[in-house]
């Protein structure tokens, strides 16, 4: 798997510190399970954090980080995890199976979503975009993390394939289009509603909780 778009250092640091909303933590954990580069970078940040704690003479029991993250409902990944069925392990464990267990809801034009139960602060969802189909043009009122699980999509910024993460902020307006040949399945997390430019998506937005 050739991953070109990685998580930012601030996201990895926040994840290591347990400061991300559960939905963002799920995206980060899933990406880390797929990406050697970000997994190694996370280990570096965890080592630095451990050194800081040692210098502060604060004693921590073995497994304290894992226990704290478990209480927050966010998985910790420090080594590659085996895929569970057709999903990376953190996501498969989270939803209790593979894509066959996902309860999709139609958004129209063949696009489907499944909202995942997470804590406050952000929302996570799986998105299914048929090959060649575009997502309505939109901007962002906050941050959106989109991790490609299958297929690929393109927008004005670049191409995003399996394992790639697009970090969208309020400055980005785009129209993601799934590549031809294979449906694009993504895990996305947002901390604010999207900002659609067309009337019909805006009218349907409260119904679909996007």
Per-residue pLDDT reduced to its tens digit, 186-209: 999 999 987 777 666 666 656 666
β-bridge pairing 105-108 and 165-168: unpaired
CA distance 80 to 74: 16
In this predicted structure, the answer to whether residue 148 has a pLDDT above a threshold of 90 is yes
The reply to whether 103 and 190 lie within a common domain is: yes
Query: Per mean pLDDT, which range of 25-39, 93-107, 151-165 is the poorest?
Result: 93-107
pTM, entire model: 0.81
- Domain with residue 42: its CATH number is 1.10.10.1320
Write down which residue in 95, 114, 144 finishes a domain. 95
pLDDT for 132: 97
Buried b vs exposed e over 111-129: b needs ≥16 C-beta within 10 Å?
A: bbbbebebeeebbbbbbbb
Report whether pLDDT(119) > 60.
Answer: yes
> Which of 95, 130, 152 represents a domain boundary (last residue)?
95
Residue 138: pLDDT band (50, 70, 90) is confident
Please tell me whether residues 89 and 125 are part of one structural domain: no
Of the residues 72, 95, 118, which one is the last residue of a structural domain?
95
Please count the structural domains in the chain.
2
Which strands make up the sheet holding 123-129, listed edge to edge? Answer: 105-108, 111-116, 123-129, 184-190, 144-150, 165-168
What percent of the chain is predicted at pLDDT more than 70? 77
Neighbouring CB atoms inside 10 A of 146's CB total 23
Q: What percent of the chain has pLDDT over 90?
A: 61
* Domain limits for position 193: 99-208
Q: Are residues 180 and 147 in the same domain?
A: yes
List, for residues 20-78, the tens digit of each pLDDT value: 999 999 999 999 999 999 999 999 999 876 555 555 556 656 666 666 556 555 555 55
> 201 and 180, same structural domain?
yes
24 and 118 housed in the same domain: no
């Amino acid at each position: 798997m050739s991953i070109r778009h990685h998580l930012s250092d601030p996201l990895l640091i926040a994840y290591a510190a347990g400061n991300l909303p559960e939905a963002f933590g799920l995206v980060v954990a899933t990406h880390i399970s797929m990406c050697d580069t970000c997994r190694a970078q996370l280990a570096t940040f965890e080592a630095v954090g451990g050194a800081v704690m040692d210098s502060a003479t604060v004693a921590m029991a073995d497994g304290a980080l894992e226990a704290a993250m478990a209480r927050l409902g966010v998985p910790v990944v420090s080594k590659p995890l085996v895929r569970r069925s057709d999903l990376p392990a953190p996501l498969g464990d989270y939803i209790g199976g593979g894509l066959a267990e996902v309860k999709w809801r139609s958004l129209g034009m063949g696009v489907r979503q499944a909202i995942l139960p997470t804590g406050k602060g952000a929302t996570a969802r799986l998105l299914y975009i048929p090959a060649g189909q575009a997502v309505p043009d939109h901007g962002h009122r906050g941050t959106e993390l989109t991790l490609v699980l299958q297929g690929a999509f393109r927008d004005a910024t670049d191409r995003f394939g399996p394992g790639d993460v697009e970090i969208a902020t309020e400055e980005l307006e785009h129209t993601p289009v799934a590549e031809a040949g294979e449906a694009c399945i993504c895990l996305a997390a947002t901390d604010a509603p999207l900002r659609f430019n067309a009337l019909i998506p805006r009218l349907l937005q409260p119904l679909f909780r996007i």
